[in-house]
Amino acid sequence: MAQPGTSTRAGRFGRSLRSIASGAIPVLAGLMLASALHQSDFVERLHNLVFDQYQRWSPRIWTDELPVRVADIDDTSLDRIGQWPWPRQKLAQLTDKLAQAGAAAIVFDALFSEEDQYSPKQMLSRLPDIPERDALAKAMGEQNLIDSDPLAKAFETAQVVAAVALTNLPMQTQPETKASFVVLGDDPAKALPHFDNMILPLQSLRDAAKGLGVINYVPDGDQIVRRAPIAFSVGKPGQMKLAPSLGVEALRVAFQTMTPILKSTNASGEISYGAHAAVVSAKIGDAVIPTEADGNVRIRFAGSQDGRRIPAWRILNGEVDADEIAGRIILIGSSANALADLRATPLESVVPGVDIHAEFLEHALSGAQLVRLDWAWAVEALAVLVGGLLISLIVALLSPVASAAATIAVVGGGAWASWLAFSRAELLFDPIIPGATWLAAYATATIGVFRRTMRERYEVRAAFSRYLSPVVVEQLAADPSKLRLGGESRHVTILFSDVRGFTARSETMTGAGVVQFLNALHTPLTGCVLREGGTIDKYIGDGLMAFWNAPLDVADHANAACRAALAMAAAVPAIDQRLAAEAAAAGHAHIPVRIGIGLNTGDAFVGNMGSEQRFDYSIVGDPVNVAARLESATKEFGVTVIVSETTRAAATDFLFVDLGSAGLKGKSSAVKVFALHDAKSAADVSWSEFEALHQRVLDAAQGDRRHLAEAIREAEGHVLGDRYGAFYRRLMDSAAPEIEDAEFSPGGS
């Protein structure tokens, strides 16, 4: 037989494994989902919801020391100078003003792919074909006014970056760049955003410009610009060129370098793990910019800043301090609503497009490192696995309230770790999929525990409703952990009861009559046991076996057993009266019903016993055997309830009558036994008188037995002594030969 508690530990371990297994289902599903969808639009949108909120909580700090400014063609500038597009002469003046103030780079966020409508050549083309036009054209040609471009001349004397646009429309032009990338590692062309063709500015402008940068944005599916490409691949397969973005070209010109460096997988210190080539970072002059795999830089936005913008009209009027321009990258763009160059960012729903180029430059020059690493999804998958299994274990081991609190702590800890990674290290880790998976693991494991609890409660009710009172059954069902199904050693009080003369009675009855008699007897007697919190072990024909303090604790189990025994004895007259009436009605002789009850208290082993096919919750041990022998001894001693010395000592609420010692079958020495008399609260004031008289009887039986008869007469004459007449007669009968020998011996009195 298993040791006490062994099967309990095994059961708990099994339940824990089942909880972990049930919680692991959503964990594994989450892992597969994360692996399958980690690059999907749906998951990316979930990520963006979180990462955008992080930026709103903690935007990049902007200072006026950052070397980036926007020469803003704002509404006021349009009012003062005229509608857009401005004459190239005016833009040339703006360029000259910025160059003279010492701008490190002048970047046009505008595409000059068409002739200036205000140029002399375009003005002549709109005149009627008359002789005067030819004369005017000749005069202007001699002065080099027709083919001259003032903006191109301004470009020649300044550090200007002109904009190009990419398209997939068929075009005759060939891609053209000023920058010459140095690539370290795998060819990044397939990883970068790709376009087939390039829309270039006029030849004179691109020849004069120091840099050509791509003006295109790559917004996400929700049309919010979160990232800026480092470079693009342009052209047909086999003829592709790398074209820098407008921001990268601005940095290259400002740092006066010809060779931006792109670092990709399989470069020194970079591993591709068998994946396609991916961009890792870009180095332009002093700026090192981490990128995501597709060459995009996730911008840490600072939001719109008044100090970043300088109205273009003020620059043209010479009203700007040179310190605001010298050594800085100046972006020329427009915030005017009428020009509709508006975009959305994580921080703002509407911003001028030029601000996004400015944000990228500030991000790069301030040393911001915001990036979602290529292997971030692997970290998140590991978090899904470890956190999900941890929560499943928590649900298996802790109470519902504690497991809910622990789950909230784990989910909150994951969100906090994600926030710390952003705020402290500018790394982006998703807390949503791990958190959702952990909650799913908690819900699944909790449902599993709930279903097992309901099943256990049903099993407990089914198994114990025959043995225990409904109140006790509900307590066990509410907390099955109180029941150690594998068995355990318990300090219990055991009760045996039996009907006197049942064999002779059954000989005169039919089988149906025997069943009817037993049901009529056991129903009220069982109720007496259950009302006192006892457990019915079994029915043995006309006998009944019960015990207290298992499976639930009963603090005063000896007193409870004594109360049940007295209640059973008190119920017998009513049972006998009913059976006598039934016998009389049927014309049968009635045999009076009498029972005997034995009680013993001690340590016994309690648990489910039997076979795998059939078992019962029962109790075994020497205290059980003693209780059964005490019940048999009631016939010999002529009393209804006999208890052992251990029960008498434990049942402090009751009065007992000492019956001396008895030799019990299976015991090597005599055992002290006592008759259960009554509850102390119900005792007559004359109890002490009877106790003294009874003690005289015991003293006489053990000493000079010649005085035994007199002592018995006095005890029996007491109001409480009548019920012990059979016991006294037993003492008298056992002492009779000795008394006779003493009376007729020589010298006897």
52 is written with which tokens?
A: 């955008």
Give the Cα separation of 727 and 636 in Å (integer). Answer: 8
Element (H, E) at 458: helix 432-464
* DSSP, residue by residue, 46-111: HHHHHHHHHHHHSPPPP-TTSSEEEEE--HHHHHHH-SSSPPHHHHHHHHHHHHHTT-SEEEE-S-
Tell me whether residue 720 is exposed, middle or buried, using C-beta atoms within 10 angstroms of its C-beta: 0 to 12, 13 to 18, 19 or more: buried
Question: Is the CB of residue 242 less than 8 Å from the CB of residue 233?
Answer: yes
Q: Is 144's pLDDT higher than 60?
A: no
CB distance 547 to 616 below 8 Å: no
Residue (of 236, 162, 163, 161) closest to 195 by Cα position: 236
**The pLDDT of residue 475:** 58
- pLDDT of 187 reads 87
Contacts of 142 (CB under 8 A, 6+ apart): none
Peptide bond between residue 170 and the one before it cis (omega within 30 degrees of 0):
no
Q: 226-240, 476-490, 520-534: lowest mean pLDDT where?
A: 476-490
* Distance separating alpha carbons of residues 242 and 182, to the nearest angstrom: 10
Percent of residues, the chain, with pLDDT higher than 90: 46
For residue 67 the two structure tokens come to: 């070397």
Structure tokens at 743: 């009376």
What pLDDT shows up at residue 441? 77
Supply the pLDDT for residue 33.
Answer: 56
Pairing status of strand 671-679 against strand 654-662: antiparallel
Asked if pLDDT for residue 259 goes beyond 70, the answer is: yes
Across 588-613, average pLDDT: 85
Q: What is the pLDDT of residue 66?
A: 93
**What's the pLDDT at 749?**
31
Crossing angle between the packed helical segments 687-702 and 725-744, to the nearest 10 degrees: 40
Reading the block at residue 552, the tokens are 């639930």
Whether the CB-CB separation of 316 and 336 falls below 8 Å is answered with no
Strand (E) or helix (H) holding 608: strand 595-610
pTM for the structure as a whole: 0.61
Averaged pLDDT score across all residues of the chain: 83
pLDDT at 3: 39
Residues 522/545, Cβ–Cβ less than 8 Å: no
Q: Which long-range contacts (CB under 8 A, 24 or more apart) does 150-153 make?
A: 150/88, 150/89, 150/92, 151/88, 151/89, 151/91, 151/92, 151/95, 151/112, 151/116, 151/205, 152/202, 152/204, 152/205, 152/207, 152/208, 153/92, 153/208
Q: Measure the CA–CA gap between 288 and 692, rounded to whole angstroms.
A: 107
Task: Show me where the domains of the chain are located.
Answer: 6-37+376-461, 73-178+197-258+307-365, 485-683, 684-749
Residue 365 confidence class, pLDDT cut points 50, 70, 90? very high
Local confidence band at 372 (pLDDT 50, 70, 90 cut-offs):
confident
- Mean pLDDT over residues 732-739, rounded? 70
**Shortest CA distance to 355 belongs to which of 331, 338, 326?**
331
Q: What does 651-708 look like in DSSP terms, one character per residue? A: -TTEEEEEEEEEPPTT-SS-EEEEEEEEEGGG--TTHHHHHHHHHHHHHHHHS-GGGH
Beta strands in 158-278 (DSSP E): 160-167, 182-184, 194-195, 197-199, 211-214, 227-229, 231-234, 241-244, 261-264
Span 145-183, pLDDT tens digits:
445 688 999 999 999 999 999 999 888 788 899 998 999
Using DSSP's 3-state secondary structure scheme, residue 496 falls into: strand
154 φ, ψ to 5°? Answer: -65, -40
Phi, psi angle pair for 389, to nearest 5°: -65, -35
β-bridge partners, 68:
329
Lookup: tokens for 44: 């990316």
Residue range 485-683 forms a domain whose CATH class is: alpha beta
What pLDDT digit, counting tens, does each position of 565-587 carry?
Answer: 999 999 999 999 998 898 888 88
- Judge whether residue 517 has pLDDT over 50: yes
